[in-house]
Amino acid sequence: MVFIQFNAEVDGSFIPLPAKHVDTGMGFERIAGILATTKNFTQYTQPTSNYNSDLFTDLFQHISTLCGQRYGATLPQTKNRHEMTAEEQRDCAFRVVADHIRTVSFAIADGILPGNEGRNYVLRRILRRAILFGKRLNLKSGFFASLVDPLVEKMGSVFPELRAQRDIIHKVISNEERSFERTLDRGLQHLEGLFNSHASNKTLTGEEAFMLYDTYGFPVDLTEIIANERGFSVDKAGFEVAMEAQRERARQAQQKTVIKLSDHEAAKAATRFVGYEADNLDNYKTQLIEIVEANSPQGPCFYAVLKESPCYAQMGGQLGDTGLIEIDGQPFRILDTLKDDAGRFLHQLERAPEATLRAGAEAIVSVERSRRHEIERHHSVTHILHWALRKVLGTHVGQAGSFVAPNYLRFDFTHFEALQPEQIAQIEKLVQERILENHAVRWFETPFDKKPEGVIAFFGEKYGAVVRVVDMDGFSMELCGGTHVRSTGEIGAFKITSESAISAGTRRIEAVAGFAAIEYATRQFNELHRMAERLSCTAHELPKRLEHLLEERSKMEKELRALQQKQAAGLAHELVAQAHTQGSMAWVISLVDVATPEDLRGLAAHVAKQLDSQAHVVVLGSKIGESASVVAICSPEAIAQGVKAGELVKQACAAIDGKGGGKPDFAMGGGKAIAKLDAALKALMPSI
């Protein structure tokens, strides 16, 4: 508890408050829970709980209806789940599900989506924990999403964002449920096997916990809950070691170039960027700090570190500038510009210097303007794209990464499902409208705590005390350190080329702008006309022409299937005529020529149908592509006499270096040794 009594002044003195109070930290829900438990402070026999308030009553009732069990309001007497009674475990599951639907729904309404990093992963862990506890109550697939409506009905009047985002909350949870349930059962089966193998020491190793996380999507705390219920522990330290080993493998896979700079004071200073203004892009004079040699996977590289630079260094998804530099009379092409953790710009030179270059020498830098402008077009349009995505899809959309090059862009964003064609068209239309309206683009620096209302800052990004705001006539405002066009009209054109998923809850748009968009449209136009020429029609006639061709193809495919069925029936008749009869049972074992495994199965069925009046065994083999296939069908009478299709196929496939099997009445298999197929089929005859 905190006793609030004084106001602390700037000079360190304390002035008594006119109204003193006590901060218990309880909050309204805890008070409501106490009131409900004590019957308005008249009974004190039961332990108090937030879950006793009527805020949870409707949710508990809905869960009870779904699972057919009653919430008993029991509280566990132990923290060890394997020591809880069945009733305590049931009520705990009720509380977890009810609490977590509230947490997840409010978080999604605030724009947070389940993901694999940071707060997004925390949300995913909470959601998956709720699904696991729902399984304890035998709740069916989709139960968690069904709790959104009763929650909104209960709390939506006080929290209108729940009502506004109801559909999005429901879709996000539904997608997450489906995704996790695909691996949950298999993960639980694997975990059961681990429990059996560790029955003596009652501990899951860190590697095993990591495998459950990596393969089945089990957060380690979820594994720990399940293990605790069975009286097991989890080696969390070992899990962290395995996790770090995976991160290290990812880092090594990137094969980064390690650049070692001098440690003298001048080399430690960050490079001042002067390239926002167009006047500084040509023949900008600065000083050389040092030349650095580094080894990369492609060989030795040389970098110039300057006191100031008009070249933008790669960061924030924007590629670094290229250009020309002259140092002490020696000219070089700048192949790339990078930035290290200390803020120093590293200008990659095309070759080694011909002579030693002294620190302090004059350097004259010119940025490759045309390339920079194309990069600016693509960077500025990502801001408009971000605005359009939030307009069309909802304010839950947030940037999750980007890459800006001279000829294309990638934009990763948080969203829970694939975009529909009409949504992509609407987004493109909004972006193109803002381009053609030629809005002014301006940027300014401001203290972070005084940034304009409505400006978009990215969660998890580290911002300094002073930030740079890029403002597009007020409709888009983002904190951004990159370079941009001066007006949206400079972007010229925009076209989305693809939209895809890169992970659960994260989508990626690839697009082109400026000249790249014009080139893309030209390529598409030319390809369209080439197709039209091949089909002897105009580009406008292509849809009808294509529709006609598809109808013709469908008609021919039907005719072909009818012909193939007729041929199969004829071949089946021939095979039946060649059947070998032993006692009361007919045997058909033959090598045939068909195109696909489906054709082979169909032919065997035709033969079996014609032999349906008597006991029969059908075994057919065929060389299909680069492998051999075998199918067997046995009638009930044959099975009763001990002949089983699965065993026949298993024997034949073993002889052709393959494997196969199935049920007593039907089996299929195959192998790679095509040359042995005929002999493998004949070898079945002695077993008759």
Share of the chain above pLDDT 90, in %: 63
Mean per-residue pLDDT, 610-630: 92
CATH class, domain 575-687, is: alpha beta
- Residue closest to 488 by CA, chosen among 433, 443, 444, 445: 433
- Tell me the pLDDT of the chain averaged across its residues: 90
Would you say residue 257 has pLDDT above 60?
Answer: no
Each residue of 331-363: pLDDT tens digit? Answer: 999 999 999 888 999 999 999 998 888 899 999
What proportion of the chain, given as a percentage, has pLDDT over 70?
95
162 pLDDT higher than 60: yes
Question: Among 205, 206, 203, which Cα is nearest to 244's?
Answer: 206
- DSSP H helical ranges for 271-413: 369-393
265-367 shares its CATH topology with 374-522: no
Note the pLDDT of residue 252: 66
The full set of domain ranges for the chain reads 1-49, 56-251, 265-367, 374-522, 575-687
Over residues 618-636, mean pLDDT: 95
The residue with greater pLDDT, 51 or 302, is 302
- Partners of 339 in beta bridges: 345
20 pLDDT tier (thresholds 50, 70, 90):
confident
**Confidence grade of residue 86 (pLDDT, cut at 50, 70, 90):** confident
CA 100 from centre of chain = 22
Residue 50 has a CB neighbour count (10 Å cut-off) of 19
Query: Which of the listed CATH numbers 2.40.30.130, 3.10.580.10, 3.60.10.10, 3.40.710.10 matches domain 265-367?
Result: 2.40.30.130
- Region 150-160: mean pLDDT is 94
SS3 498: strand
What is the spatial distance between Cα 170 and Cα 172, in angstroms, rounded to a whole number?
6
Q: Is 411's pLDDT higher than 60? A: yes
In terms of phi and psi (left: phi > 0; alpha: psi -120 to 50; beta: otherwise), the region of 73 is: left
Q: Is the pLDDT at 258 greater than 80, yes or no?
A: no
What per-residue confidence (pLDDT) applies to 438?
97
Q: What is the DSSP string of 416-478?
A: SSPPPHHHHHHHHHHHHHHHHTT-BEEEEEEEGGGPPTT-B--TT----SEEEEEEETTTEEE
Residue 31 pLDDT greater than 80, yes or no: no
Task: Flag the least confident range among 111-115, 281-285, 482-486.
Answer: 111-115
Q: 641-657, pLDDT tens digit by residue?
A: 999 999 999 999 999 99
Q: Which three-class secondary structure state does DSSP give residue 303?
A: strand
pLDDT of residue 450: 87
pLDDT value of residue 131? 94
Q: Are 452 and 469 in contact (CB under 8 A)?
A: yes
Instruction: Please list the alpha-helical segments (H only) found in 394-420.
Output: none
pLDDT of residue 262: 57
CATH 3.30.980.10 at 374-522, yes or no: yes
The per-residue pLDDT for range 517-561, each reduced to its tens digit, is 999 999 999 999 999 999 999 999 999 999 999 999 999 999 988
Round to whole Å and give the CA distance between 72 and 51: 11
How far apart CA 286 and CA 292 sit, in angstroms, is: 17
pLDDT of the residue at 38: 67
Dmax (CA) for the chain in angstroms is 112
What pLDDT is recorded for position 387?
A: 97
The pLDDT tens digits of the residues spanning 200-241 come to: 899 999 999 999 998 888 889 889 988 988 889 999 999 999
Q: 254 in helix, strand or coil?
A: helix
User: Is residue 265 over pLDDT 80?
Assistant: no
* CA–CA dist 176, 329 (Å, integer): 61
pLDDT score for 687: 54
Check residue 109 and give its pLDDT: 92
Estimate to the nearest angstrom the gap between the alpha carbon of 688 and the chain centroid: 55
Helix, strand, coil abundance in the chain, percent, nearest 5: 45, 25, 30
Q: What is the pLDDT of residues 561-613, one digit of tens each?
A: 888 888 888 899 999 998 988 888 999 999 999 989 999 999 999 999 999 88
Q: Is the pLDDT of residue 253 over 70?
A: no
Q: What is the pLDDT of residue 264?
A: 55
Compute the CA torsion angle 673, 675, 678, 684 (nearest 10 deg): -40
Q: DSSP strand E in 593-639: where?
A: 615-624, 627-634
pLDDT in tens, 184-194: 888 889 999 99
